[in-house]
Structure formats: structure tokens, C-alpha cells
Chains A and B, each alone.
Chain A
Amino acid sequence: MVAYILRRLAVMIPTIFLISVITFIIIQLPPGDYFTTLQSLAAETGGGMDTAVLQRLQQVYGLDQPMHIQYIRWVSGWVRLDFGYSLEWGAPVWTVISKQLNYTLFLGFLSIIFMVITAVPIGIYSATHQYSIGDHTLSAIGFVGLCIPGFLLALLWMFLGIVVFQFDVGNTMSMEYREAPWTLAKVWDYTYHLLPAVVILGLSSTAQLQRIMRSNLLDVLGMQHITTARAKGLEENKVINKYAVRVAINPLISVLALEIPKIINQSALVGIVMMLPTLGPVYLRALLSQDVYLSGTILLITTIMLMVSNLLADIALAWVDPRITLT
């Protein structure tokens, strides 16, 4: 097991370097750089920027160097958590994104918790009450939830919040609490801004998880050891909870691993729609203004997050299911 993890990590390092090269190329694709974008923006608003000033700035920030030199500069700082300097924010990239990264991880983590604690009981209910009205209703809702992704749900929620409920649904809290000290009212305000985001982010994966939990449990309930347990007179809820669910829940972990990329992808868009401090809005701004180190680092970190979550899922699967040995 330890050897397996070490080997996976060893493979990951060259992959990350390959990905960082591709990332850097993609980010550098648009013509020009941060300062030329700034110059053209200034020109649009009637201002201007001297070409001499432009060249001087490019020199100071190393943007006049060839691409491979810029790349090596970027990579060599990683060990010191130095991912370059964000020109737009006037601060090192790591300082700019660390807060948003934490919020993104926090939100993603809550969504996964939400996913598991809602999908598993619903799946169990649907399987034990197969073809009942409740099962049909939950399956229908689940299918709609599965198809409508977080981006659209977030838009619909903003619309509902504004038009129907008439409160400030975006951001992490209402305007009046932003500068206020933490009180009970502020905690409540924070919660009802956070919860919709968590639900929206996790809903489509919840639906997927619930469908799979239902079909897994139905398979297991048809097995002979369940019939034996029932024949011996074991209580029904013990049969379900101790025998059937224990077996049916294992494959969910690999499904969970497949759903994490969805959450990572959607959190970028949902963050922008709901004006949350996730990496999404920063990333979008960085892309538009060609703040290359910032956007490149965010793309790289998101990719690494994806790789790590896949590794964790494999490890968790082996840990839960003793029949699987990782070699």
C-alpha cells in the first residue's frame, strides 16, 4: 500500500511538469502581454501609455524574455511557494489566491459532505421502496438535478432570490454584515448564503450518487446472503443497514472520485455567478487581463487538485474494501 502510494506520487511529479508546460503555453497563447493589454485598454478610454514606459515595464517584470526563460523562472520558485508576481493585484500570486483557494476547498468539501449525507439515505429509501410513489418522485427529481448543471442552477437561484424572495442572494453574506463583528445574526446570514452554494454545487453529483446507490443496493438485496439473513429471522433494518448497505456502499467511493472533477469545474462557474470568493472570479479576471502567472498558477493548482482527488479516491477504495489490493 505504502509502496503503491509512493509510486503514484512518483509518477505524478513528471506529469505535473508536463502539465505545467502545456498550461504555460496555453496561457501565453493570446498575442501580447499584460502591459500591451493595459496599453490598449488605456487607449480605449482615451488615455495612453508611452512605448518607452511599456518596454521599461516589460523589462522590469521579465516579460521581454523568451518564453522558456519565463517558464523556468516560474517553475524554479515553486519550492518556496513562489508562483510568480500578479501584476494586476500587485502582490505575489500565492498571497492573492491563498484565501480563495481555501474558500474553494471549503466549499467543495461541504458539497461532498452534503452529497454523501443526502444521496446515501435517499438511495437506500428508493431501493427499499422500489417502484413506490416516493421512489418514482425522487428518481424524477434526481434526473432533473443530474441534467441541470450548477452553472444554470446558480443562475436560476439568483433569479429566484431576486425576483421571488427579494433578498441579496449573492456573495458570502449580506452587505450590512460584511464589516460587522461576528454575531448570531451574522452567522445566520453567512449560513443562508453558504448553504445554497453548497447545494447547487453538489446537486448534480448527489443525483448521480443516489441513482448508483439505489441500483447497487437493489443488486445486493437480491443476493443469497440477504435471503439467508432474512430466513434466519434477522430484523429487517439490521439486514439492510448491517448487511446490504455495507456492501452496496463500496462502489460509491469510485463514483465519488468521478464526481469531484464536476465539483471543481462547476465551482469556477458557480463562484462567478453567485459572486463567491472562489478561484473562479480571480481566474476569469486574470485570463482577461493576461495576468499570466496568476491564471497559469490557478489552472495548474486546479489540475493538481484533480489528480490528488483521484489518488485519494483510489486509496480510500482500497481502505474500505479489503478485497481490493493495490499493487
Chain B
Amino acid sequence: MHSDNSHTKLEAQRQELNDLYEGYANRQLIEEEPAIDPRTGKPLQDIYGASQWRLIWRKFIRNQAALGGGIVILLFYLVAIFGDFIAPYGKDTRYRESIYMPPSEVQIVDSNGKLGLFIYEQKQEFDKNLKRVYTPNLEKKIPIQFFVRGDSYKLLGLFESDLHLFGVPEGMIALFGADRQGRDMFSRLVIGSQVSLSIGLVGVILSLILGTILGIISGYYAGWTDDIIQRLIELIRSFPSVPLWMALSAAIPMTWTIGQTYFAISLILSLLGWTWLARQLRGQVLALRNQDFVLAARLAGASDSWIIFRHLIPATLGQIIVVSTLQMPAMILAETSLSWLGLGLRPPVVSWGVLIQESQNYQSLALYPWVFLPAVAVAICILAFSYLGDGLRDSVDPYTI
């Protein structure tokens, strides 16, 4: 009996504890309702528990100027990639009867109030100074058609095609006017952007490789390696960039092929560019190499290359991206100015610099102002890149307000 009694007592105690525990557990569940940020109404967990990349992204999309810049850049690159398809004509297609034709005005409503996309036929005449004047023939409507067959091209250098986004069955459509040889400025601008935008990218990638390797080595190993690399950077930087670029581009032999010249120019551009990235990374790595996580990795037996690739490069990736984005406009501009000077790419290659160089005759500029449009494209592109880079720089350090 006694033992029974004690048994029931124990049982009751256990029951009590169980209840208590369950109650406690339940209470915990109720209390664990996520804390809410009183301003935004979002759970705080989202902010304090977010990864660094999420924080950067969140800060970046709040910056409208940077976002706008990014979208413009994206559009520019999309247009460049599908350039041959978007351009209604090839870069060298000439229309003798459209020399210096002003930009075609796309009409939506005709004189009878009927809707539809069309342009008026342009009649070429010579005035008494033998200047070409174009008058629209309001009788003759030319409809704009989509997905038409035209000049053949190789998309991305791979797929042969002759399909174009838009075109006209007769005459010529020149959204940005025609140049002195009757070539469509819009097509040339679009196709020229392939060279201009990619040469910037290639130059940045080259300087990225050089700058990352030398910058991280310089900061990580310090000592005499660092000294040599720093003296080299100082020596390169003591030259003024534009005159040095000019001298180096002038050294490119005229006999080189288009591909060789293209590569040489991007190499010249990156020759100075890498020093900025290397300096920046060196400073960061110098600060990081004495941090506990690097020490921990080393104690755990990690090799130098493991520490560099696994820890240091990811930690400095934000800086690398920012510096490269901010370098893009300088590279694009350098290509433009070198080609403009006649030291960079030369016709028949089409790039923005080559196009601006062709419009260089100030007399023709006054009569046919649309040949100056490539310079506007360059300005827009550079501005967009600068807004993007500026916004990225602000958001890469997400812990500042």
C-alpha cells in the first residue's frame, strides 16, 4: 500500500510537471510571435537576419537614380547584343537617294484620321546652293512593317539571319537621319554601340584581373613584394593618362587587323585602370589580413590561396564591383576620344568614337545636326554608368545610414 501510495504521488508530481512544461512550451509559442518594425510593418527578423547581399540590394533599389541608371545600362547592352536585329539596315548599306536625309518622322494618324504607323516618302531636291533639301510627299504613305527581311547578318556572330525588327517596303526609314553617304544613322549607332560598350567591358575585365591579383598580393604578402608593386603603380600613375594613351595608341601599327587593334586598345585602356583597383584592394586586404577570421582560417591549416580565394576576395567583392562600374564610363570615353582623334579604331569599324569623328566637320554639323547624335548617346551612357556606380558605392556599405 505504502509503495502504491508513493507511486501515485510520484505519478501526480510527474503529471504536474508535464502540465507545467506544456504550459511553458505553449507560452513560449505565443511569445515567439515575430517582432515587427513599427515604421515599415515588416518583421525585424528580415532586417537583422538578412545577408549582406540582401542588405546591399535593399539599399540599392531605394536609390532611384542608381536604379534608373542601371536600367538604362541594361537597355543599352540589350540593344547592343541584339543590335543587328534591331537595326533596320547593315552598317554599310548606302542609299544614294537619301544622302543627308533628315530623321524620318513616324506618323500615327493620317490626314483622314486613320490610325497606323507610317512615314511619308521624302523627295530629294537640290536648292540653288546645290544643297540637298527633302520635302515630304504627303500623297505617298510608306507603312512601317515589323519582322521584315533585309540585310543579312550574323547575330552574336553565330546565327545567320536577315530578319529585322522593323523596316519599310520601299524608300528608306532613318529614325536618326542619314549621313553623308546615305547610311542610316540609327543602324550605325546601334551597331557601333557593340564595339564601344564591349571595349569598355573588355578593358574593365582586363584591369579587374590585373588589379585584383596585384592588389591582393600586395596587401596580403606586404614586405618587398608590396614595395615593388607600389613603386610600379606610382611610376605608371606619374604619367598623365590621356597623353600616355595617345602615345601608346599611336604605336599600334596601321597594318594590324581589326581584332588586333581592338584588343590592343582595350589593353592600353586597362594599363592605367588596374592601378586604381589595386590600390583600393591593397588597403582593404591590409585591414582584413589581421582580422580574427583570417587568423582562424590560418590556424585551421588553410593555405594562402584558400584564404585569398575563399575569404579575402568575397570580402572585397563589393569594392571590386564598385570600382569596375565607376571605371566603365572612363573606358568608354577613352575609346571614344582615341577613335575621335584617329588614333583608335578606324573605319570600316563602327564605334561611337568613329561616328563622332565622321561628324567632325563643323560645317556639315550646322546643316545636318543629326549626325551629332552619337555624342548624345555617349553622354547618356556615361551619365547612366556614373549614377549606377555612385548608387552602388553608397549601398555596398549597408551599415551606414
Contacts and interface: CB of A to CB of B under 8 A. Distances in A.
Interface residues of A, number: 45
Contact of A265 (B240, B375, B390): B240
A26 interface: yes
A76 B179 CA distance: 52
A163 B241 contact: no
Given A148-B383, A284-B341, A298-B243, A155 B369 contact: no
A299 B372 CA distance: 31
A166 interface: yes
A281 B16 CA distance: 97
Contact of B243 (A22, A31, A302): A302
Nearest to A304: B238
Interface of B: 235, 238-244, 246-248, 250-251, 253, 329, 333, 336-337, 340-343, 356, 362, 365-366, 369, 372, 375, 378-379, 382-383, 386-387, 390
Interface of A: 15, 18-19, 22-23, 26-27, 29-31, 143-144, 146-149, 151-152, 155-156, 158-159, 162-163, 166, 170, 261, 264-266, 268-269, 272, 283-284, 287-288, 295, 298-299, 302-303, 305-307
A287 B235 contact: no
A19 B242 contact: no
A156 B379 contact: yes
Nearest to A307: B238
A18 B238 CA distance: 11
B329 A283 contact: no
| Residue of B243, B336, B362 ringed by the most chain A CB atoms within 10 A | B243
Given A163-B369, A284-B341, A288-B343, 4 more contacts: A22-B239, A159-B369, A264-B240, A269-B337
20 contacts: A18-B235, A26-B244, A26-B248, A29-B248, A30-B250, A30-B253, A143-B386, A143-B387, A146-B386, A148-B379, A151-B340, A159-B369, A166-B366, A265-B243, A283-B246, A287-B246, A287-B247, A288-B250, A288-B343, A302-B243
Contacts of B336: 151
Contacts of A266: 242
A151 B337 contact: yes
A19 B235 contact: yes
Contact of B240 (A18, A22, A29, A306): A306
Contacts of B238: 15, 19, 303, 306-307
A283 B333 CA distance: 20
